């Protein structure tokens, strides 16, 4: 029988709970660099005769996270506990372990490494020895953290959208300078006198790009940012 993502199963002698729910919560630090995972990886360890296997990977949406979990859940295991974070939304599940001892420590492992767009599944095969609440938290959080720590990561660059409207005489130079500064031109709309460019730029380069475009067009270009 395929285990439910929300099935309340627990060790004998331990309080059984299922903890789920989509929540909104600020990222660990709004000003800190954030990362995502480049690919999927695993890590396993044995703790007091229980086998713990972490499977972690990048996801872009809640649906993708559900698909990842459905693909990797093991119906033969005692517990399939997991967490994911995508932007300010996160979700975790204890899958029958005592409340707060599995899913939340996995989420803390994700947040502790400044990861976004990340799902972590930790599978446990019970070995007959109860670990207690503290032991479970260390086992689940530690297994997830060990897996995530060893994985290759990609820094997420915060971007914003600006629009640049310039004359035909300036268009080629403006486009060359924008791309030279690392900006991505998403669209180009021609008008009678020139073109309007929709451009995605790194947030920390916004002011420099605006100054550059203003200088090379001698103030003729009209520049608007997404907050204007």
Instruction: Find the CATH number of the domain harbouring 79.
Output: 3.30.230.30
* Per-residue pLDDT tens digits for 119-163: 999 999 999 999 999 999 999 999 999 999 999 999 998 889 999
Same-domain status, 201 and 148:
no
80-104 confidence digits (pLDDT tens): 999 999 999 999 999 999 999 999 9
Among candidate residues 140, 155, 170, the one where a domain is terminated: 155
- Are both 105 and 178 inside the same structural domain? no
For residue range 66-76, list pLDDT tens digits in order.
999 999 999 99
The contacts of residue 161 (CB under 8 Å, 6+ apart) are 186, 198, 199, 200, 201, 225, 226
Verify that 107 and 144 share a domain, yes or no.
yes
Cross-strand bridge partners of residue 199: 162, 185
- Count of the separate structural domains present in the chain: 2
Q: Which two tokens stand for residue 192?
A: 């009678």
Contacts made by residues 203-211, CB under 8 angstroms, sequence distance 24+:
203/157, 203/158, 203/159, 203/160, 204/158, 205/181, 206/160, 206/162, 208/181, 209/162, 209/178, 209/181, 209/183, 210/162
The whole-number average pLDDT for the span 108-124 is 97
Looking at residue 100, what is its pLDDT?
Answer: 96
Same domain, residue pair 56 and 31: yes
- How would you class 227 by CB atoms within 10 Å of its CB: exposed for 0-12, middle for 13-18, buried for 19 or more? exposed
With bands split at pLDDT 50, 70 and 90, how would you rate the model's confidence at 219? very high
Same domain (yes/no): 175, 79: no
Last residue in a domain, options 116, 136, 155: 155
216 and 196 in one domain? Answer: yes
| Domain coverage including residue 184 | 157-225
Higher pLDDT pick, 6 / 145: 145
Spatial distance between the Cα atoms of 226 and 228, rounded to a whole number of angstroms: 6
Residues 87 and 28 in one domain: yes
Q: What percent of the chain has pLDDT over 70?
A: 86
């Amino acid at each position: 029988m395929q285990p439910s993502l929300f099935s309340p199963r627990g060790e004998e002698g331990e309080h059984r709970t299922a903890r789920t729910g989509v929540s909104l919560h600020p990222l660990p630090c709004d000003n800190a660099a954030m990362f995502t995972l480049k690919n999927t990886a695993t890590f396993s360890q044995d703790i007091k005769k229980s086998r713990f296997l972490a499977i972690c990977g990048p996801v872009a949406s809640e649906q993708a996270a559900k698909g990842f979990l459905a693909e990797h859940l093991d119906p033969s295991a005692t517990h399939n506990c997991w967490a994911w974070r995508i932007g300010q939304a996160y979700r975790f599940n204890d899958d029958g372990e005592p409340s707060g001892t599995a899913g939340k420590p996995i989420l803390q492992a994700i947040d502790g490494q400044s990861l976004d767009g990340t799902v972590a599944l930790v599978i446990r095969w019970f070995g007959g020895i109860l670990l207690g609440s503290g032991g479970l938290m260390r086992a689940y959080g530690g297994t997830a953290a060990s897996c995530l720590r060893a994985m290759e990561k990609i820094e997420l660059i915060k971007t914003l959208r600006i629009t640049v409207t310039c004359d035909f005489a300036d268009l080629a130079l403006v486009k060359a300078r924008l791309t030279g500064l690392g900006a991505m031109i998403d669209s180009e709309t021609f008008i009678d006198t020139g073109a309007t460019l929709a451009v995605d730029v790194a947030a920390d380069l916004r002011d420099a790009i605006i100054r550059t475009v203003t200088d090379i067009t001698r103030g003729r270009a009209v520049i608007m940012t997404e907050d204007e």
